[in-house]
Amino acid sequence: MTESTDTTLRQLSTVERDGHEARVATLSQTYQTTPEDLWDAVTTPARIARWFAPVTGDLRLGGRFQVENNAAGTVQTCDAPREFTATWEYGEEVSWLAVRIRGEEGGAASLELEHTAVVADEWWDQFGPGATGVGWDLGLYGLGLHLANPDAARPDDENAWVLSDEGKAFVTASSEAWARASVAAGTPAEAATAAALRTTAFYTEMPTEE
């Protein structure tokens, strides 16, 4: 099932992965740039650091990489400048990414990001697809800002923006969009809405000191 809001297309499905049911979240976004430039922006460490986070390691077939304060992984396939796949390893959890790029009419290019993960039912029931979906939405938003101004540095404190009125509005809209995609995929509306509210709170509520 597919859910479209603003210029982002969101889709949820399930597949079998290593004998387990895995949930697949797919985001698609179109940018006013060439496929070659978009590929460069998502595969060159110096550029990734400007819109996502610093990354170290070998961004080549079979190479290992580490995203600062985030996941590590291995590049599994690479068909430049069209597609790459990689593992996405955070703590003891392993999931899988596929990034696809294609040219669009009018000199634009689209990016499709597919994230496949085996998710515990209790976690899915609590937060739904927005638990990771909001994070990917924030990443693609940052990518759009970078493509519009490639020389700009990444903000020093991105968490401060998320806690601003503008950031909270973005996270809320993203959570709601993932809730609609979840309903389209078969989740009862009440459960999807409750999960979206919990996800929004997770991203936007200021942590309290002990």
Tell me the pLDDT tens digit for each residue of 91-125: 999 999 999 999 999 999 999 999 999 999 999 99
Query: 2-204 is classed in which CATH architecture?
Result: 2-Layer Sandwich (3.30)
Asked if pLDDT for residue 5 goes beyond 50, the answer is: no
| Residue spans of alpha helices (H) in 44-188 | 45-51, 121-127, 130-148, 158-162, 165-184
Question: What is the model's pLDDT at position 210?
Answer: 42
Report the mean per-residue pLDDT for the chain: 93
Element (H, E) at 116: strand 109-117
How far is Cα 174 from Cα 3, in angstroms, rounded to an integer? 11
pLDDT in tens, 136-164: 999 999 999 999 999 888 877 778 899 99
The domain spans of the chain are: 2-204
**Residues facing residue 86 across a β-bridge:** 75, 97
